[in-house]
Amino acid sequence: PFTLGLTFALPSLSYVCRPLLDSVLPSLPPTVSDLDVPPLLREHFILSGYRPLGLPWRCCVLSLLQIHNQTLTTWSLLLAALALLLRFTGFAFLRGGVRHRLCSKWHSNVPLILSLTSKLSFLASCSAAANVLHCRSEEMHYFLFFLHSVSAAVYQYGCALALSLYSVDAIWTQSMLGQVYLPLTAILSWLSCALCCYTKLTLRSKFAIHRRICRLFPMGVAFLVIMGPFVRRLTIYRWSNGPALMLFLHQVVLFLLSTFFFCFPVPECFAPGHYDLAGNSHHVYHALRSLCTLVQQEALFHDFLWRRPALVRQMGEQHLLLTCISFFCPMVCCSMTALAMRSRARAELEKEQR
């Protein structure tokens, strides 16, 4: 006799979840050449690996997992921020003596926390965000770059604040140079931010090298000023502190190397198109700058243990807190400058679209 067999099977999990995954994780468009993006987003001698302009926000974020010409830059910044946070966690909580010192006399810990915050905002919140999200639109490209300039200025002042309190003795702090050091650094940080924003807006892509050199000048001056307290400490103590000397030399070497790759498009200028996805000067610059930040923070940990016990006693709690509050002054000034430049950029973009 003939029998008809019926079977019932549940649909496969991939068949059920595929529409949901497609809606949550949309497929990313392929990268394009430099001719398919506006001149504002182009880099000299980088011919491919660009993300198309106008990507949705989700696609911009998901491009972290895509291979393009900003992938290595973004991940080097994010990994450096993660390493910095893990190192601070180990320094603060995994060593009993240091943990006790951090919990007591909290006033002297504020500069260290502010310095760490400025470094994290510079690496992750602003630099990485600018590299990931700038392809949303030309206006967003301008805004994120201006935000990056603000974070760089705040980073400079945060380092100067911590170094002026932890890396020098009381004699330098009470001297005339020590009294004008932080106001001078605040002015230089603001000038650095203003000049970076101005050159970004006025010097377009074809003047990229000139723009980089103009942006480098205030950054170099600010770096020299920031390193002043550390140089004085090593000079006074006749460079007898071995770890401090090595960390200082590492900072200088990394900064000079990053400066070279920031100014000159090497090696991509010798073989355009061959270093689009890996190995170009933009990648090398951010990797070296991230290492310089990590070394600088390590040197600051050494200085923190050396200077902290007498800091509150010599400066007083009220004076120390007022000095820390000055951290927000360049932040506000640079933010107002960036907002003004963003309004000007928006007006110029609207004028070009007419």
Q: How far is CA 244 from CA 61, 85, 192, 225, 248, in A?
A: 39, 21, 28, 18, 6
> What span, in angstroms and rounded, lies between the C-alpha atoms of 179 and 310?
19
Residue with tokens 């002026």: 164
> What span, in angstroms and rounded, lies between the C-alpha atoms of 85 and 88?
5
Report the 10 Å Cβ neighbour count for 36: 13
* Structure-token pair, residue 76: 């080097």
> What span, in angstroms and rounded, lies between the C-alpha atoms of 198 and 239?
40
Say how far residue 298 (Cα) sits from the centre of its chain: 17
Task: Confirm whether residue 286 is marked as ligand binding.
Answer: yes
Query: Up-side HSE of residue 340: CA atoms within 13 Å toward CB?
Result: 11
Contact 242, 31 (CB under 8 A): no
Q: Quick one: which of 108, 143, 148 has its CA closest to 126? A: 148
User: Letter for the amino acid at 321?
Assistant: L
> What span, in angstroms and rounded, lies between the C-alpha atoms of 350 and 89?
47
* Structure-token pair, residue 291: 């290492």
Q: Which 3 state secondary structure label does DSSP give 340?
A: helix
* Structure-token pair, residue 222: 């600010």
In sequence order, what are the residues at sequence separation of 6 or more whose Cβ sits closer than 8 angstroms to the Cβ of residue 253? none
Say how far residue 249 (Cα) sits from the centre of its chain: 21
Task: Confirm whether residue 68 is marked as ligand binding.
Answer: no
Binding residues for Zn(2+): 282, 286
- Residue ranges for the known binding site are 282, 286
